[in-house]
Structure 1
Amino acid sequence: MLRFTANLSLLFTEVPLQQRFQAAKDQGFEAVEIQFPYELSADVIRQELDKQQLKLVLFNVDADDLLQGGEGLAAAPEKKQRFEQAVTETVAYAKILKPDVINILPGRCFDTSLLGDYQQTFKENLHFALEAFSPLGIKTVFEAVNTVDMPGFIISSSEKMLALMAEINHPDLLMQYDIYHMLMMQEDPANFIQQYADKIGHIQFADCPGRHQPGTGNMDYMQIFSIIKASAYQGWTGAEYNPLDSTKASLDWLKKEY
């Protein structure tokens, strides 16, 4: 199945977040995702979604300082209480916005001697999130991020995602598979999606290198989109890239037939 969402944290940034819903609808999107929606109230987002007849597919639990170079929230042992508070905030948003999936960014560990503690904390936090989101009918996903852009990220490969899923073994835990990050780690997304589509709760993409729109790097996006379409994957595919120019000018890939 191939259905596209616009990631409103990276696309349509020419206008404030509240105006991006209409901008996405005007370009033909039927669904959107937001990395961190918390600058707007859930009620305001709900109003925009209803006004534009859009579905919000995904958003993330707060990740603290991760995008500013820090370790994030979900694996740091000393931040466990703060993570649980963030999940509580996410639940309040989820009850109003009703996403399909909620993503948890594992985060970084800068002291390798503490990696085991960070990995254990992340597992415990995943269990806490699953107990919070599953009763709402929402899948929990987590994401591997490349260690070129984010050194120290505790989950950086498909293999590590599969291993963690097998260890936790919960029906509502799936992978968020980011094609850009896995290409940066020299993996083969096409082959992985064919093999493990049933374990993926959400897919995101950007071309590689550069993290711009399809056609600006080495990603064979027409092949990958065709494979997603033909696979057993049932979720949405999120455009999560930094447009080289305006967002509208970056959408040639969307006009093609797959």
Structure 2
Amino acid sequence: MPRFAANLSMLYPQHDFLDRFAAAAADGFEAVEYLFPYDYSTQELRARLSDNGLVQALFNAPPGDWAAGERGIASLPGREAEFRDGIHQALEYAAVLGNDRIHVMAGLLPDEALRGKHQAVYQENLAFAAAEAAKAGITVLIEPINTRDMPGFFLNRQDQAHAIREAVGASNLKVQFDFYHCQIVEGDVSTTLRRDFANVGHIQIASVPERHEPNLGELNYANLFNLIDSLGYSGWVGCEYRPKGDTHEGLAWLRQWKAQQA
């Protein structure tokens, strides 16, 4: 049975962020993920994990100026020093929080004519990040994101991400497979996951098209969960969706799934 992690950047929006750990544990989650930890001290976050018996599954490296609209800096020329500092900060947090995966966001491409230049920077930065992360036994993740939610994002397709992974050539560089983004951009999610599974480092879920609970929308998650199991995936499955209503009530899908597997 897949192991599910609560994405605290999206779930339990009625609670302050630090109170979402307890809410997730009360709903039976054993792990959490979220976008960024850097507004809080490592000790504060570690205490929330320990007090609630939770595992830190994943967080993102610093993305640049998020409030100003930046969505990662890994592919941005001229930001290499800032990127490297961010990787070191992320690894310092991971050393305390215990996660063995860090997601590195590519950033926005201002003009398609600049793709080659940005890709060269991206690959060089990823090689650096993977080398630094390898010293701590950590996997670096890259994720294709759909252009409807994030117009201009550098990385959109699974095959594109895997080509970059191969070009970098680091064994601890993997690709996130988010069913929501993949379905919007590519479709054929089952075949795509099977094709690329050997180098998938993390999985995330949400309904399509609204990005709500996975029992809604056009994807058959009961079938996809069985596929994840059949492929032998042992990592966490991040519940990165916007609750349609109350998070706890919306988790009926998870309670029903667990009951069926008992």
In the superposition, the TM-score normalised over structure 2's length comes to: 0.94
Q: Which residue of 1 aligns with 2:77?
A: 77
**Aligned residue type for 1:165:** R
Q: Which residue of 2 aligns with 1:37?
A: 37
CA contact (8 A) 2:72 2:104 kept: no
Q: Which residue of 2 aligns with 1:95?
A: 95
Asked if residue 24 in structure 1 is aligned to residue 29 in structure 2, the reply is no
In structure 2, distance between residues paired with 1:70 and 1:239:
23
User: CA shift at 1:66, angstroms?
Assistant: 5.0
Unaligned runs of at least 5 residues, structure 1? none
Q: Percent identity?
A: 35
Deviations 1:110-147 (A, max 9, x none): 12221111111111111111122111111111100011
Q: Which residue of 2 aligns with 1:211?
A: 211
In structure 2, distance between residues paired with 1:248 and 1:54:
17
User: CA shift at 1:67, angstroms?
Assistant: 6.9
Q: Which residue of 1 aligns with 2:244?
A: 244
Q: Aligned with 1:5: secondary structure? A: strand
RMSD value over aligned CA atoms?
Answer: 1.5
CA contact (8 A) 1:140 1:172 kept: yes
CA contact (8 A) 2:143 2:155 kept: yes
CA contact (8 A) 1:213 1:250 kept: yes
CA contact (8 A) 1:71 1:110 kept: no
Q: Which residue of 2 aligns with 1:15?
A: 15
In structure 2, distance between residues paired with 1:70 and 1:49:
29
Q: Aligned with 1:202: secondary structure? A: strand
In structure 2, distance between residues paired with 1:12 and 1:101:
23
CA contact (8 A) 2:157 2:182 kept: yes
In structure 2, distance between residues paired with 1:115 and 1:36:
27
CA contact (8 A) 1:206 1:212 kept: yes
Q: Aligned with 2:222: secondary structure? A: helix
Q: Which residue of 1 aligns with 2:60?
A: 60
Asked if residue 225 in structure 1 is aligned to residue 222 in structure 2, the reply is no
Asked if residue 4 in structure 1 is aligned to residue 4 in structure 2, the reply is yes
Q: Which residue of 2 aligns with 1:147?
A: 147
Taking the TM superposition and a 5 Å limit, the aligned residue runs for 1:170-189 are: 170-189=170-189
**Aligned residue type for 1:107:** G
Closer, same or farther: CA 9–152 of 1 in aligned 2, 3 Å: same
In structure 2, distance between residues paired with 1:29 and 1:156:
30
**Aligned residue type for 1:38:** Y
Closer, same or farther: CA 85–140 of 1 in aligned 2, 3 Å: same
Deviations 1:197-232 (A, max 9, x none): 221110011100011111221111111111001113
**Aligned residue type for 1:3:** R
In the superposition, the TM-score normalised over structure 1's length comes to: 0.95
In structure 2, distance between residues paired with 1:210 and 1:105:
22
In structure 2, distance between residues paired with 1:198 and 1:68:
36
How many residues were matched structurally? 258
Q: Aligned with 1:84: secondary structure? A: helix
Q: Which residue of 2 aligns with 1:105?
A: 105
